[in-house]
Amino acid sequence: MPGIKRKDLLEIGELSKREILKILSLSESIKKRGRDLSYQPLKGKTLGMIFEKNSTRTRVSFEVAMWQLGGYGLYLNKSDLQLGRGETIEDTARVLSRYVDGIMIRAYHHEDVKKLASFASVPVINGLTDYEHPCQALTDLFTIYEKKKKFSGLKLAFIGDGDNNMATSLIFGCAKVGLDITVASPKGYQPGKDVLNKAEKDSMMNNSKIVVTEDVMEAAENADVIYTDVWTSMGQEREAEERKKVFSGYQVNGKILKKAKKDVMVMHCLPAHRGEEITDEVLDGPNSVVFDQAENRLHVQKAILISLMA
Ligand code: CP
Ligand code: NVA
């Protein structure tokens, strides 16, 4: 696609603002097309989709996107591959590159995905790692723009684990497009300095702010978007009980919503742990856009696939 001259999509933090806006604009035109099966830019192409972790949205949206664009997505559970028996990432990358036109991978360790990309001759897409979830963050920016028609002047409040893949990707994404972001997290779970330093450069260029606080109400105050994610991410299950205690004051509920703007949009990448990071009342309430957001994964996934593989 014109404007996207990269082989892989590993981190939203490494995309330029222009590349992000290109993907969002393509997503918009693809969404408008709906299920137009005469449009087959990926006719005859295949995507290998390696999963080390569970997935509903990422798996289904990529598989459906490939099919609707004329191609085919192969679901490859890591434990069924020789990769699960010790074949190296390097060899897996080289072999898969002889069969498929692109690889999507959801993995525990971000470094593994970088290694896969460096040995694969075909595009590699990060479908979530411990560090970033770029496809989700691009969808989130798309959803915000779709509903609010702008980025600049808006405030997004991220409430919860400020050190997880979603918080990191949103900090980078917001800084790139010039959206103010305030992250409210308890001490010890706030965004890393490396993430903040990297994002700060973009936010300065785009005249936006990044604020980190322990105070949920400060974050929610006048927010245009309230975003939350699970307190315990995949791979952290052993810490779940401890995290429930640490994050107990960081629930997105009716009280928090009252601090935000009247038309605040509530977002969650899903899956949600209802009753923990978010109440049913808010998730199912009139401000919630979570199912539109989930639907948009399909449209944005198509834009990403076309940008890298068509
Ligand atoms: N949001 C998201 O990536 O969902 P899945 O884990 O179901 O893919
Ligand atoms: N932070 C969550 C996101 C799930 C889409 C996790 O990594 O489990």
DSSP secondary structure of the chain: -TT---S-B--GGGS-HHHHHHHHHHHHHHHHH-S-TT--TTTT-EEEEEESS--SHHHHHHHHHHHHTT-EEEEEEGGGSGGGGT--HHHHHHHHHHH-SEEEEE-S-HHHHHHHHHH-SS-EEE---SS--HHHHHHHHHHHHHHHS--TT-EEEEES-TTSHHHHHHHHHHHHHT-EEEEE--TTSSPPHHHHHHHHHHHHHTT--EEEES-HHHHHTT-SEEEE--SS-TT-GGGHHHHHHHTTT--B-HHHHHHS-TTPEEEE-S---BTTTB-HHHHTSTTB-HHHHHHHHHHHHHHHHHHHH-
Cα–Cα distance measured from residue 126 to residue 147, given in angstroms and rounded to the nearest whole number: 26
Question: Per-10-residue mean pLDDT for the chain, 310 residues long?
Answer: 80 97 98 95 98 98 98 97 97 98 98 98 98 98 98 98 98 98 98 98 96 98 98 98 98 98 98 98 98 98 97
CB 257 within 8 A of CB 266: yes
DSSP β-bridge partners for residue 182: 157, 211
- Domain locations along the chain: 12-132+297-309, 134-293
**Is the CB of residue 293 below 6 angstroms from any atom belonging to ligand 1?**
no
Mutate to test the pocket of ligand 1, among 105, 268, 269, 292 (most ligand atoms within 8 A of CB): 269
- Residue identifier of the C-alpha nearest atom 2 of ligand 1: 57
| 270 Cα nearest atom in ligand 1 | 1
Q: Are 12-132+297-309 and 134-293 equal in CATH topology?
A: yes
- From ligand 1's centre to the CA of 182, what distance in Å? 23
Cα–Cα distance measured from residue 277 to residue 273, given in angstroms and rounded to the nearest whole number: 7
Instruction: Tell me the one-letter amino acid at 226.
Output: I
Is position 243 annotated as part of the catalytic site?
no
CB 252 within 8 A of CB 278: yes
Q: Is ipTM over 0.85? A: yes
* Class for the domain spanning 134-293: alpha beta
Q: Cα–Cα distances in Å, from 254 out to 241, 259, 293?
A: 24, 9, 21
Is position 190 annotated as part of the catalytic site?
no
pLDDT for the residue 3: 53
The domain covering 12-132+297-309 belongs, at the CATH homologous superfamily level, to Aspartate/ornithine carbamoyltransferase (3.40.50.1370)
pLDDT for the residue 190: 98
Is position 59 annotated as part of the catalytic site?
no
Mutate to test the pocket of ligand 1, among 49, 54, 58, 62 (most ligand atoms within 8 A of CB): 58
Which residues contribute to the annotated binding site for carbamoyl phosphate?
55-58, 82, 106, 133-136, 269-270, 297
Exactly one of 8, 68, 106, 224 is catalytic; name it.
Answer: 106
Cα–Cα distance measured from residue 204 to residue 151, given in angstroms and rounded to the nearest whole number: 15
Is position 106 annotated as part of the catalytic site?
yes
Please report which ligand is nearest the Cα atom of 126. Answer: 1
